[in-house]
């Protein structure tokens, strides 16, 4: 297990670039299976989650080639062999569930191993199945795998059981190749869902309502190859870097931030007293999103006057909520953090107590955070979930002294070459195998 050794308590400075989106990348990789042809994806992040999906794709017959460090070429034209699917890769990444929608029109029967990913309590697959079954996807759950039978796809009017990102993506992929017109209501309109829709449009799909909670999709018989589609910048990585600057009271610039998916988070910070400016507004490489550079100034923070909580887009992103915990340790007053989505993610926030934070667990979903607190160094095991793990890392970078964060794999699932990025703005952090 790799670990991070951190000399914390340093004020950082300079500029740092946001890497491209984990959740977009895995969706586009799975969606490539809908195309009997060739796909070239630009700005593909080299992260563990991507590597696991590539292991799955290669194991079933997709030809994969890195043309350079971040340009990935896929040839999905060959017949697939689902009997050789990479079991371990399926089991460690929940993103493998996206194969259900991606293969809905391609494979008649197959098995897929049950997945893991972040340990966030009970995360039912029922929202996926409620939608997919209406298209003709039949899934039988066994002890360690799902047995999937795909009937001829039919367009449907769908109401999502919940506004989940991956269930919505699965429904979209099934609808794109289902003859007729499908409407999907209560759809997630989050960033990775939009990126998936734009990618599918580039392949010839007919999708309307992108960015809203109602999608209208006219099925097409066949998608065509995609020669160059850039993955969008990651708003969650952006927010974690912003949270680092805020918590350490550092004058840093976070570049390549997708503004549409950070506006409410930035408004919350403004109310807390954080000073920042937005510079160099422009359009993303794929031409679909607004990108800015966020320039942070050291500020005196105050607690939010009411609770902070996540919700589906356009609310405060559910994955960004954990980053408010280390920031609130430096804000004067007490704030209620309500993490209602996952059964036990709020429990991981108690790890910051070991770094000196004043955090009170009210129930499995809610904590009080009081500040300002002088954080102290310690040695901890990385929480088994990406965002709480990064929240701990942020607190360690703010805590004076030497901290050790063991088992960095959860962070490396979603962050590319993080140590180099942090060192470039003055952090003292070493990754040790």
Interval 120-144: pLDDT, tens: 344 568 889 999 999 999 999 888 8
Query: Beta strands 157-159 and 14-17: pairing type?
Result: unpaired
Report the chain's C-alpha Rg in angstroms: 21
Q: What is the average per-residue pLDDT within 405-415?
A: 93
Contacts 24+ apart (CB under 8 A), 92-96: 92/52, 92/116, 92/117, 93/26, 93/49, 93/52, 93/53, 93/117, 93/413, 94/118, 94/123, 94/166, 95/23, 95/26, 95/27, 95/30, 95/49, 95/52, 95/53, 95/166, 96/52, 96/53, 96/56
Q: What is the DSSP string of 199-217?
A: HHHHTT-EEE-TTSSEEEE
Give me the residue label for tokens 């897929």. Answer: 112
Residues contacting 342, CB < 8 A, separation 6+: 120, 121, 123
Task: Return the minimum-mean-pLDDT range out of 91-100, 191-200, 294-303.
Answer: 91-100
The domain at 22-230 falls in which architecture? Alpha-beta prism (3.65)
Q: Is the confidence at residue 119, as pLDDT, over 80?
A: no
Please tell us whether the domain made up of 3-19+233-432 is placed in CATH 3.65.10.10: yes
> What values do phi and psi take at 264, rounded to 5?
-70, -40
Q: What is the average per-residue pLDDT within 190-199?
A: 98
For residue 199, the tally of other CB atoms under 10 A from its CB is 25
Cβ pair 241, 425 in contact under 8 A: no
Query: pLDDT band at 117, cuts 50/70/90?
Result: very low
Cβ pair 10, 426 in contact under 8 A: yes
User: Whole-angstrom Cα distance, residue 82 to residue 285?
Assistant: 34
**Bridge partner residues of 238 (DSSP):** none
User: Whole-angstrom Cα distance, residue 32 to residue 19?
Assistant: 21
Cα pseudo-dihedral 370, 371, 376, 378, rounded to 10: 30
Return the structure tokens found at 29.
């990789």
Q: Tell me the per-residue pLDDT of 7-43, one tens digit each, with 9 for 90 and over.
A: 999 999 999 999 999 999 999 999 999 999 999 999 9
Q: What is the DSSP string of 234-293?
A: -HHHHHHHHHHHHHTT--EEEEEEEGGGTHHHHHHHHHTT-EEEEEEEEE-TTSSSEEEE
What are the b/e assignments for 250-268, b being 16+ CB within 10 Å?
A: bebbbbbbbbbbbebbbeb
Q: Provide the whole-model pTM.
A: 0.95
Query: pLDDT band at 310, cuts 50/70/90?
Result: very high
Query: pLDDT band at 55, cuts 50/70/90?
Result: very high
User: Whole-angstrom Cα distance, residue 159 to residue 176?
Assistant: 16
Query: Beta strands 331-338 and 301-302: pairing type?
Result: parallel
User: Whole-angstrom Cα distance, residue 174 to residue 155?
Assistant: 9
Q: How many CA atoms lie within 13 A of 312 on its CB side?
A: 16
Distances (CA, A) of 347 to 119, 328, 350, 382, 384: 11, 16, 6, 13, 12
Query: pLDDT band at 344, cuts 50/70/90?
Result: confident
Cβ pair 146, 111 in contact under 8 A: yes
Which is it for the CA torsion 40, 43, 46, 51, positive or negative?
negative
Burial class (CB in 10 A: 0-12, 13-18, 19+), 157: exposed
- Please measure the distance between the N-terminal and C-terminal CA atoms of the chain and give it in whole angstroms: 6
Instruction: Please state the domain extents for the chain.
Output: 3-19+233-432, 22-230
Residue 116, pLDDT score: 61
User: Whole-angstrom Cα distance, residue 191 to residue 78?
Assistant: 31
Cβ pair 365, 339 in contact under 8 A: yes
Residue 118, pLDDT score: 44
Mean pLDDT estimate for the chain: 95
Residue 390, pLDDT score: 97
User: Whole-angstrom Cα distance, residue 194 to residue 208?
Assistant: 11
Q: What is the average per-residue pLDDT within 267-276?
A: 98
Q: What is the average per-residue pLDDT within 41-53?
A: 96
User: Whole-angstrom Cα distance, residue 152 to residue 108?
Assistant: 9
Burial class (CB in 10 A: 0-12, 13-18, 19+), 410: buried
């Amino acid at each position: 297990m790799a670990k991070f050794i951190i000399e914390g308590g340093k004020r950082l400075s300079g500029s740092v670039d946001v890497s491209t989106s984990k959740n977009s990348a895995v969706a586009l990789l799975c969606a490539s299976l809908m195309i009997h042809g060739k796909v070239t994806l630009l700005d593909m992040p080299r992260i563990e989650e991507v590597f696991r999906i590539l292991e799955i794709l290669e194991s079933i017959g997709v030809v994969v080639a890195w043309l350079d460090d971040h340009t990935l070429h896929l040839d999905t034209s060959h017949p697939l062999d689902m009997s050789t699917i990479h079991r371990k890769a399926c089991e460690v990444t929940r993103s493998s569930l996206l194969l259900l929608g991606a293969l809905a029109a391609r494979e008649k029967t197959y098995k897929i191993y049950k997945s893991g990913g972040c340990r966030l309590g009970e995360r039912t697959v029922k929202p996926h199945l409620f939608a997919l079954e209406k298209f003709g996807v039949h899934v039988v759950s066994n002890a360690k795998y799902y047995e999937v039978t795909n009937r001829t796809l039919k367009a449907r009017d769908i109401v999502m059981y919940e506004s989940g990102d991956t269930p919505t993506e699965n429904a979209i992929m099934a609808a794109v190749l289902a003859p007729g017109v499908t409407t999907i209501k209560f759809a997630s309109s989050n960033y990775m869902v939009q990126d998936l829709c734009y990618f599918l449009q580039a392949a010839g799909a007919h999708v309307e309502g992108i960015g809203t909670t109602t999608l209208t999709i006219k099925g097409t018989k066949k998608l065509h190859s995609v020669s160059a589609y850039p993955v969008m910048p990651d708003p969650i990585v952006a927010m974690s870097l912003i949270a680092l600057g805020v918590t350490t009271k550092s004058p840093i610039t976070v570049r390549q931030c997708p503004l549409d998916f950070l506006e409410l988070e930035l408004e919350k910070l403004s109310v807390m007293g954080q000073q920042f400016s937005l510079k160099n507004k422009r359009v993303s490489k794929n031409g679909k999103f607004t990108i800015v550079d966020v320039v942070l100034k050291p500020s005196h923070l105050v607690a939010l006057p009411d609770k902070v909580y996540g919700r589906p887009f356009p609310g405060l992103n559910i994955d960004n909520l954990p980053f408010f915990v280390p920031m609130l340790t430096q804000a004067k007053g007490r704030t209620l953090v309500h993490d209602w989505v996952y059964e036990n993610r709020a429990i991981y926030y108690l790890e910051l107590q070991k770094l000196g934070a004043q955090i009170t667990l009210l129930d499995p979903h809610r904590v009080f955070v009081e500040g300002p607190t002088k954080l102290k160094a310690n040695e901890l095991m990385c929480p088994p979930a990406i965002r709480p793990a990064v929240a701990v890392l942020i607190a360690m970078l703010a805590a004076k002294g030497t901290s050790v964060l063991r088992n960095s794999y959860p962070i490396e699932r979603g962050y590319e070459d993080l140590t180099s990025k942090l060192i470039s703005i003055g952090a003292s952090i070493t990754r040790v195998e």
